[in-house]
Amino acid sequence: MSCIPRLTIMLRACGYRMTSQRHAILQALHDGGHLSPAQIYQRVESTGMTEATVYRTLEFLAENGILLVADRGNGHLAYELSGESHHHIICRTCGAQMEVDPALLAPAISQMESETGYHLNAGHLTFFGLCPLCKQKPQERA
């Protein structure tokens, strides 16, 4: 089932309307999960949307809490629809990734909030490290 009606309500609550560009990008993300701006553009370019419009719309949707942005390392971003909290671990060597159960991080996030007084926006965190296979390989020395 599409989440577009829920996202339309979220946009309207912020005082904005669902444009055809926003709808196309949200549908592309609904169909495909975590996508880079280039991947999103490939999926919506048949609508006549320019790459600049894709970037502006992604920025707008992220600023308004409709999309989550994840740093995939080396400055590469991926976008996904907002919703339930979830987190990832990405291997810096081979790029393998896996989701992390939010319950594992909940105590640490709660402790950070109580110790700092901050309310953390921790709905989507990305951790980087070495996967079990790459960890076993001898590391090249620079």
Domain boundaries, the chain: 1-83, 85-142
The gap from C-alpha 67 to its chain's centroid, in whole angstroms, comes to 7
Instruction: Report pLDDT digits (tens) over 49-78.
Output: 999 999 999 999 988 888 888 777 667 888
What whole-number percentage of the chain has pLDDT above 70? Answer: 89
More confident residue, 5 or 117: 117
For the segment 113-134, the average pLDDT, to the nearest whole number, is 86
Determine if the pTM surpasses 0.85: no
Taking the alpha carbons at both ends of the chain, their separation in whole angstroms is 50
DSSP 50-91: -HHHHHHHHHHHHHTTSEEEEE-STT-EEEEE--S-EEEEEE
In whole angstroms, what is the distance from residue 66 CA to residue 71 CA?
Answer: 17
In whole angstroms, what is the distance from residue 44 CA to residue 56 CA?
Answer: 14
Q: What per-residue confidence (pLDDT) applies to 126?
A: 80
Mean pLDDT of the chain: 85
| pLDDT above 50 (res 141) | no
Architecture of domain 85-142: 2-Layer Sandwich (3.30)
Architecture of domain 1-83: Orthogonal Bundle (1.10)
What is the CA angle 26-14-84, rounded to 5?
Answer: 55
Using N-to-C axis directions, what is the helix angle for 37-44 and 20-32, rounded to 10°?
Answer: 110
